[in-house]
Amino acid sequence: MRSLPYVLAFGFVATLIPVTAQVLSNDYGVNGAVSGALAVMQSAPLLLAVTRPLAAWWIVIVGDTLGALVLLGAPTEPVRPWPWTAMVIVGYLVLCLALALRERRRTVVAVWCVTVALSLALGFIGQDRSEGTNVLLIVLSGTVLLLGTAVRERADVQRKLAEQETISEAERSRRTLLEERTRIARELHDVVAHHMSVITVQADSAPYRLQGLPPEAAREFGSIAVTARESLAEMRRLLGVLRSEETKGERAPQPGLDRLEQLVEATVRAGVPTELSVEGEVDGLPQAVQLSAYRIVQEALANVVRHAPGARTTVSVTAPAASAKKKAVLKGLTVLVVNGPSPAPDGPPLETSGTGHGLIGMRERVRLVGGSLDTGPLPDGGFRVAATLPLKPPLKEKDSEPS
């Protein structure tokens, strides 16, 4: 379909050139070479009208004017149309249509004014030869330009309406998304954040409310209060992100691999014996990789606490050595969390209503940094979570193309 205008223009010009040359030669007695040159000059530029109609018009108007001046020397008998021949009028009207469909209204008006001035001037020069084709061209070209401009402006209006509708639809979708995010934030604030606040207050006040509390129990309540406050801070940060209309990223400091030790200590206090092993140099790793690794370990340990309380667990984080960091794109950071079976297999787990959202979240985080995740049960009844995170973001399609 894109080549159709060129095919039509080529067919029209291929027909118009020989017909114009024949009319000039047979009807007006113009020399064959001159008639051929004029025919080419008046018709061939119409090929350019498909993409650059204004440039084509300048060439054609000069060729038509030269043709009219040449025809002043033609015999006066029999009477022939002058200053514009029939072929000139046909070609000029087609060119006017192309102009009206492509150019602005001001340009179209200027073209018609030049057409009027030139037609009247030629009619004044050759009053004894004028057969009214100058007036005919003025009327017909004005009509074609007017109709073509109306069609173009109507198409422009329809296109703008379609664009506005697209923008409005995108704005409605954005507003719906913001409303949904606000609703989720409100629910989290009203339910989860409220309960976390109650837990924090109760854990902080327990040593003062309960007389004769053993020191170990007091420390346990203190640990519960610290964990609850950290969770509440994370919840408030999440609420801020959900309520914000800007989605350019989280500005609050995010946990990294330096927080793994605290995470493991909290897990040990929850009754899960956990060992942490960090090999290689983790300082200076990309923040996105550190955050993903931390969240994977956090979710894996939370699953152990919920579904296999008391199970012995090991957390291994392996980073490339400094000498190997140039090859880290292939190797990356390895995170491995392995837990054994629960020491009380007959006892019920702390949670039985898991939905699998944790594992889904792990996979999404790993996919965002271009890594891989492998999870699954072990033969002894334990569970294994292994992730490999490249230290460089995955190349986008446009980045992978040669420049």
The reported pLDDT for the residue numbered 397 is 43
Using CA atoms, how far residue 354 sits from 296, 303, 366, in Å, is 17, 9, 21
pLDDT of amino acid 154:
93
Which position has the higher pLDDT, 116 or 189?
116
Structure confidence at residue 326 (pLDDT): 46
Between residues 392 and 265, the one the model is more confident about:
265
Determine contact, residues 284/333, Cβ cutoff 8 Å: no
Render 106-120 in DSSP notation, one character per residue.
HHHHHHHHHHHHHHH
- Distance between CA 256 and CA 47 in Å, rounded? 65
Contacts of 46 (CB under 8 A, 6+ apart): 9, 12, 13, 16, 56, 60, 91, 94, 95, 98
Per-residue pLDDT tens for 283-337? 888 888 998 999 999 989 988 988 888 899 999 999 887 555 444 444 689 999 9
Tens digits of per-residue pLDDT, 197-218? 778 888 888 888 888 888 888 8
Average pLDDT, the chain: 83
DSSP 219-276: HHHHHHHHHHHHHHHHHHHHHHHHH-S--S---S----GGGHHHHHHHHHHTT--EEE
The helix or strand, by DSSP H or E, that contains position 337, with its residue range, turns out to be strand 333-339
CATH 3.30.565.10 in the chain, residues? 257-389
For the entire predicted model, the pTM comes to 0.49
Strand order through the sheet with 383-389 = 274-279, 313-318, 333-339, 383-389, 372-377
Fold of 257-389: Heat Shock Protein 90 (3.30.565)
Q: What percent of the chain has pLDDT over 70?
A: 87
Tokens describing residue 319? 């980073």
